[in-house]
Structure 1
Amino acid sequence: MSIERIFLAFLLWLVCFVMLPLQISGKSEYLDPEGPDAFMRLERVNILVETGNWHDNHIQRAGAAGGADLHWTRPMDILILAVAAPLLPFMETRDAIELAGVVFPALMSLALVFLCLWAVVPLMQQKNLLLVVIMLAVQPVIQDYVGVGRVDHHALLAVLTAAVLGCLIRLSRTGKSGNYALCAGAISGFGLWVSLEFLTIYVPVTIGLGACWLVWGQKWRKANRDFAIATLVVSVIAIVIEVPTQDWFIAWYDRISVAQAFLVLCPAIFWGAIASLCERRPTLGLRLGMAGFYGAVCLFLISQILPNLFIGPLAEADPRIGAIWYDNVSEMAPLFGKWRQVILNCLLAFAAIIYSGFVLFGQLHPERRQMSLWLIIVLIFAGALALAHIRAGLYLSVVAVIAAGPLLEDLLIWANRHFKGWRKGATGFLVRAGVILGPFLLAFAVGSIANGLKTSEAVAANTKEAPKCNVKKMAEALSAERFSGQKKLLRFVNNIDVGPEFIYRTRHHFLAVPYHRNGDSIYDTFDLLTATDYERSRALLDKYEINYILLCFNASEGIYYKKPDNISSLYSRLQAGELPDGITAVPAPAPWRLYKYKAMTP
């Protein structure tokens, strides 16, 4: 790319990914972290700096006894510290980490823009590359995860997705493995270290590359071998670095462990040893039979040894919290039945699948035929996962933008060819404008950026006229002398979604945090607030030595606790002002409601 186009791409990124989203969001403080995960991630990084305990995944001032257990891994923490490092001479460590975390998603969106441009360079003319930036900008799920302040590893996973696809596109174009397969495998291994959510990309890519070997034979075996071995090597290195030595052979299903090492070992063995046997009699039937038999053996072994691999991260979750919390989180919901969300998240991918099908089976760009096979498989698998789980729409959108870039260019070429001359100039201009601005028009028509995937808090803010509870103001109140001057740690029952922010902004302990490994505290918070027998609530207050109950009745999660047929629950009684014996109201910034539990608080 020329310097001029790089500069234009940067300006488009600045406008479409930073300035416009901040303006649309209506945030009063642009440099504040946003969302529970952002605050918990920053607290986790601060604890790492303070203690230096690499292997401790607990937040002591959260959850039940022993603290809240997090399934996150360290690469994201180290990247935040790397961004914060240049700021340390100019500000306090905690402030530098917060600022680094807040700007990190913007840096990831910048990296995503340029990696997507790099990925499609072999497929598009340079003059049309900026169309890719426009398509990225109107993907609502991408905008949601790369917004300023959202300190989240999903933006990093989107960047890694673009990097893997860029390597594989070059691999497909050259027809030689070179270093591209190794790079794609190493990046995939790193993605699995960051989060097992990267299986959303790794699994269909592995299947897609294998399909290329089935159809075209020997020249794809080396590419598959290099990709599989590089993924395995980086995954093993990740386990050695991330996991304590005594836990190396313990299987976990929500973070990198020996279970995932076994998963990536299976294709490495096949491509490193077994697939070469097929080259003696290189027929499609032999390759298909060998791959099918080996795949069946691997699936059988997994079902017998590590069956929870089929369940995934939820295997580590307490099944009691599914119906009361996990199933109500918007990011975990399916797209089925939500036509607007399906259009916004899947229409571009559907168009890319059809276009890639023409390339694969027709005469359009025959040099891209092999690439189209694995690309279609990745699009179909990622699309199916997105329909079942909204969060997977992030990776689907990245793949769809890269796959649809050449489609948009071909449409422009067609328009330029068919609408020439002064008589057709106006029509041609309108057609070209429609092609270029089409993604924007569709996005706004369906309600993309303003009405795309939102957090539960954002939904509540738009659907209710009641004032939103300001956590920062309440945290300042809890930092006053009457609270912060206490010698012992004060313990609070709280709304689940705001627990991480209170932990970050105060020195107190908060029972509920929205992370699936903390089933006891989530379930007991629900049980405590929904119990109609106050003795049950009292027993739980005593169990956790609770001093205060802090609630925001305007929060959207109130639907978890308040049922129309359950007006005698503790939650409903507190909201109505009917306080049980032993609980008294304490002044708090409106609309927060704070209650003292006398048995534990003098």
Structure 2
Amino acid sequence: MAFSGSKFSTAQLWAGFLAGMIFLSVVVVSLLRGRFGQPGPDGDDVMRLVQVRDLLAGQGWFDLHQYRLGPDGGTLMHWSRIPDIPIILLTGLFDLFLPQDMALAWAISVWPPISMLILLGGLLLAVRNIGDGKLLVFTFIVGLFILLGHFRFLAGSIDHHNLQLGFLAVAVGAALDRQAGSRNMVLSAIMLALSVAVGIELYPFVAVLCAFHAVDWAWRGAEIRNGTVAFGSALAGAIAICFFATVPQAAWGTVYCDALSIISFLSLAIGGGGLALCAAFLSGRGRVVRFAGLVAVGAACGVLFMFQGPQCLGNPLDVLTPDMREIWFDSIIEARPMFDQPGGRRPFVAYAMGPSLVALGVSIYGLVRRRDVRTDLMFALLQALALVLMMYQTRFYVFGSLLAIIPCAAWARDAFDAGRREGGQRAGYLLPLVLSNPTLWALPVMLVLPSPAPAIGEERSCLSDETRAALESVPPGMILSDANIGAILLEETPHSVMYANYHRDIAGISASLEAFSLPPDQVPALLEKNQIDYILFCPNAGENTTFQQIQPDGFLARLTAGEVPTWLKPVRPGPENNSSGRLYRVIPQN
């Protein structure tokens, strides 16, 4: 939709001011937290930095092994190289006038705030396709509530989630074009293909958006023929480029359900190409024929999964043993279901779900009133999916909050217009703004159920100066420690770690949990088998309490109780700080 006139010019100024505040908020918060040159607090940010450093040090583009993680030569990571690209490019730019280490520090500091511009561009695109100047202003007001100082865009937050949010915003913004113009459809398809290539978190949203475009064409036919052909062709072409540019030739025939592989490549290529062919040749036929064409394309994709990757139709966590799921995976808070959060995080549940519930209600109400069926249906489907996924894993709330911005802004715009028409209740638009603010959802819960004071991070307390000095004083070797500091040890030291919070390290996770559970006298044989040189004990690690409860006579529980076995020798005298890590050398038993 094109805009003109002084009113929209004023709206553009206000929207630009609000967008600038959103962008500046992540810059200011980053500076206040003093994170310049450091990876974010999330272990995935730290591991991303390790991966980038390995690439800069000469590891191959197609080689995604983390050779210092896990036993037997390391672990093949499921991550994509695509999020590494902007960091590498910025490092190369800064390297022209800075040492490489400093250039990399600048790159990981400036890239996350810059990536916020992709998301803001997606919101602007959405408004241009469905709204007017008032919607533009309200979009960035609601966006300010939800995106202010967003943790995924702070300096050092270099994992792939910032790109995923940006890709989703642009894909949805382009998909909102009611006329399904070719340029918007191509842009949406490219963003969806990149989303699949970057990580599996967006796979369900990609599936819904692809199905939406397909059904939209089957219903409307020749009216959107060109746009649908462009969408399907671009989807197939973009995923092919991503596949051949990031997947090594040796893995072209291997099925991975947790990363871009032959199964995800072929499903999008067949689905996109099939949709393009249907639109090209069946657009002039009746709806029954068009829907039959879609059924044929869907059947082809179904056959592909049945014969090529049936395991990808199940729960991706089925590869984990029951012990790994109960002891290790369930301890990862963001991987827990939304209503399975620790008691002190009840305000977070309200914060995370509030805007999505409002947006879903607004979209369903719009469908009932037949206000803008296409737009409301798209957001209703996406929000319903986001809420379902939150029930599976908490981490999906960030996508639901992002998708809530446009519906909540549309409600505020409609309330504003209604107040103007009726000559009263001109402040009626404040209610939608209040209900779209996640902080105001959390506030009542905080008053009723006060949250405990935040404790110092386990990682920071364990890796004290004394512990770091002990780690530097010994030759590089394999360390068995708590999973939450595994990535930090890889980033800050030359040592290897037995396990960290990465599900592909099945052998390392399994061996570590077994060592923690066994009686102390049976552990040395397992350590020798896995060539473990050191034990780093973190007094505040959550695993300590877990094993005290489930295996009170096991090695970790006894070590937590202060019983150091004779086959462990302290590298240095115990630190004065009770929360500091204790590094022990494993004494060979032969």
Secondary structure in 2 matching 1:550: strand
Secondary structure in 2 matching 1:121: helix
> Is residue 2:523 matched to residue 1:537?
yes
Written as runs of structure 1 = structure 2, the 5 A alignment for 1:541-552 is 541-552=527-538
Conservation of the 8 A alpha-carbon contact between 1:342 and 1:387: no
Output the CA distance in 1 between the equivalents of 2:485 and 2:319.
23
Output the CA distance in 1 between the equivalents of 2:289 and 2:347.
45
Output the CA distance in 1 between the equivalents of 2:25 and 2:367.
33
Output the CA distance in 2 between the equivalents of 1:75 and 1:281.
40
**Structure 2 residue aligned with 1:554:** 540
> Is residue 2:131 matched to residue 1:146?
no
Output the CA distance in 1 between the equivalents of 2:453 and 2:56.
35
Q: 2:88 is aligned with what amino acid?
A: L
Secondary structure in 2 matching 1:353: helix
Output the CA distance in 2 between the equivalents of 1:113 and 1:475.
43
**Structure 1 residue aligned with 2:212:** 208
Query: Structure 1 pair 222/317, CA: closer, same or farther in 2 (3 Å)?
Result: farther
The C-alpha deviation readout for 1:327-374, integer Å capped at 9, x for no partner, is: 33122222246775554334433333343344445353xxx4333333
Conservation of the 8 A alpha-carbon contact between 1:547 and 1:598: yes
Identify which of 325, 329, 335 aligns with 2:332: 329
| Distance apart, 1:5 and its partner CA | 3.5
| Distance apart, 1:432 and its partner CA | 4.6
| Distance apart, 1:579 and its partner CA | 1.5
Q: 1:32 is aligned with what amino acid?
A: Q
**Structure 1 residue aligned with 2:229:** 225
> Is residue 2:207 matched to residue 1:198?
no
Output the CA distance in 2 between the equivalents of 1:449 and 1:551.
36
Secondary structure in 2 matching 1:597: strand
Conservation of the 8 A alpha-carbon contact between 2:535 and 2:585: yes
Q: Which moved more, 1:247-256 or 1:111-120?
A: 111-120
> Is residue 2:79 matched to residue 1:72?
yes
Secondary structure in 1 matching 2:377: helix
> Is residue 2:440 matched to residue 1:444?
yes
Identify which of 17, 22, 42 aligns with 1:13: 22
Output the CA distance in 2 between the equivalents of 1:311 and 1:545.
35
Larger RCO, structure (CA 8 Å, separation 6 or more): 1
Conservation of the 8 A alpha-carbon contact between 1:333 and 1:388: yes
The C-alpha deviation readout for 1:297-350, integer Å capped at 9, x for no partner, is: 532442233112213654665665222212331222222467755543344333
Conservation of the 8 A alpha-carbon contact between 2:65 and 2:75: yes
Output the CA distance in 1 between the equivalents of 2:281 and 2:134.
46
Output the CA distance in 2 between the equivalents of 1:244 and 1:412.
54
Identify which of 383, 406, 413 aligns with 2:410: 406
| Distance apart, 1:94 and its partner CA | 2.5
Output the CA distance in 2 between the equivalents of 1:5 and 1:141.
16
Identify which of 311, 316, 319 aligns with 2:314: 311
Q: 1:230 is aligned with what amino acid?
A: A
Conservation of the 8 A alpha-carbon contact between 1:318 and 1:519: no
Output the CA distance in 1 between the equivalents of 2:82 and 2:464.
28
Output the CA distance in 2 between the equivalents of 1:128 and 1:449.
30
Secondary structure in 1 matching 2:212: helix
Output the CA distance in 2 between the equivalents of 1:467 and 1:261.
38
Q: Which moved more, 1:579-588 or 1:1-10?
A: 1-10
Secondary structure in 1 matching 2:57: helix
Output the CA distance in 2 between the equivalents of 1:61 and 1:181.
43
| Distance apart, 1:226 and its partner CA | 2.2
Conservation of the 8 A alpha-carbon contact between 2:129 and 2:174: no
**Structure 2 residue aligned with 1:40:** 47
| Distance apart, 1:498 and its partner CA | 0.7
Output the CA distance in 2 between the equivalents of 1:347 and 1:216.
34
**Structure 1 residue aligned with 2:4:** none
Q: 2:567 is aligned with what amino acid?
A: G
**Structure 2 residue aligned with 1:599:** 587
Identify which of 510, 514, 518 aligns with 2:505: 518
Q: 2:51 is aligned with what amino acid?
A: R
Secondary structure in 2 matching 1:462: coil
Query: Structure 1 pair 294/7, CA: closer, same or farther in 2 (3 Å)?
Result: closer
Query: Structure 1 pair 571/40, CA: closer, same or farther in 2 (3 Å)?
Result: same
Query: Structure 1 pair 349/304, CA: closer, same or farther in 2 (3 Å)?
Result: same
| Distance apart, 1:46 and its partner CA | 0.8
Conservation of the 8 A alpha-carbon contact between 1:318 and 1:516: no
Output the CA distance in 2 between the equivalents of 1:567 and 1:398.
44
Conservation of the 8 A alpha-carbon contact between 1:208 and 1:378: no
Conservation of the 8 A alpha-carbon contact between 2:467 and 2:583: no
Conservation of the 8 A alpha-carbon contact between 1:167 and 1:181: yes
Output the CA distance in 2 between the equivalents of 1:465 and 1:307.
41
Output the CA distance in 1 between the equivalents of 2:101 and 2:457.
35
Output the CA distance in 2 between the equivalents of 1:378 and 1:449.
26
Output the CA distance in 2 between the equivalents of 1:502 and 1:601.
26
> Is residue 2:385 matched to residue 1:381?
yes
| Distance apart, 1:169 and its partner CA | 1.7
| Distance apart, 1:278 and its partner CA | 4.8
Q: 1:473 is aligned with what amino acid?
A: D
Q: Which moved more, 1:44-53 or 1:533-542?
A: 533-542
Secondary structure in 2 matching 1:572: helix
Query: Structure 1 pair 17/439, CA: closer, same or farther in 2 (3 Å)?
Result: farther
Secondary structure in 2 matching 1:507: coil
The C-alpha deviation readout for 1:399-433, integer Å capped at 9, x for no partner, is: 2212332222112222333455xxxxxx645x454
Identify which of 255, 266, 269 aligns with 1:265: 269
Output the CA distance in 2 between the equivalents of 1:470 and 1:91.
33
Secondary structure in 2 matching 1:179: helix
**How well do the aligned residues superpose, as a CA RMSD in angstroms?**
3.4
The C-alpha deviation readout for 1:179-199, integer Å capped at 9, x for no partner, is: 211121122112211123221
**Structure 2 residue aligned with 1:456:** none
**Structure 1 residue aligned with 2:552:** 567
| Distance apart, 1:438 and its partner CA | 4.5
Output the CA distance in 2 between the equivalents of 1:439 and 1:546.
51
Secondary structure in 2 matching 1:596: strand
| Distance apart, 1:463 and its partner CA | 5.7
Output the CA distance in 1 between the equivalents of 2:459 and 2:444.
25
> Is residue 2:491 matched to residue 1:507?
no
Query: Structure 1 pair 196/464, CA: closer, same or farther in 2 (3 Å)?
Result: closer
Query: Structure 1 pair 313/100, CA: closer, same or farther in 2 (3 Å)?
Result: farther
| Structure 1: 5+ residue stretches without partners | 421-426, 452-458
Conservation of the 8 A alpha-carbon contact between 2:69 and 2:498: yes
Secondary structure in 1 matching 2:182: coil
Q: 2:554 is aligned with what amino acid?
A: S
Conservation of the 8 A alpha-carbon contact between 2:243 and 2:261: yes
Output the CA distance in 2 between the equivalents of 1:113 and 1:588.
51
Q: 1:17 is aligned with what amino acid?
A: V
Output the CA distance in 2 between the equivalents of 1:400 and 1:526.
40
- TM-score of the superposed pair, with normalisation by structure 2: 0.86
Q: 1:462 is aligned with what amino acid?
A: P
| Distance apart, 1:510 and its partner CA | 1.8
Question: What is the identity percentage for the equivalent residue pairs of Structure 1 and Structure 2?
Answer: 20
| Distance apart, 1:574 and its partner CA | 1.3
> Is residue 2:89 matched to residue 1:82?
yes
| Distance apart, 1:14 and its partner CA | 4.3
| Structure 2: 5+ residue stretches without partners | 1-7
> Is residue 2:481 matched to residue 1:494?
yes
Q: Which moved more, 1:190-199 or 1:466-475?
A: 466-475
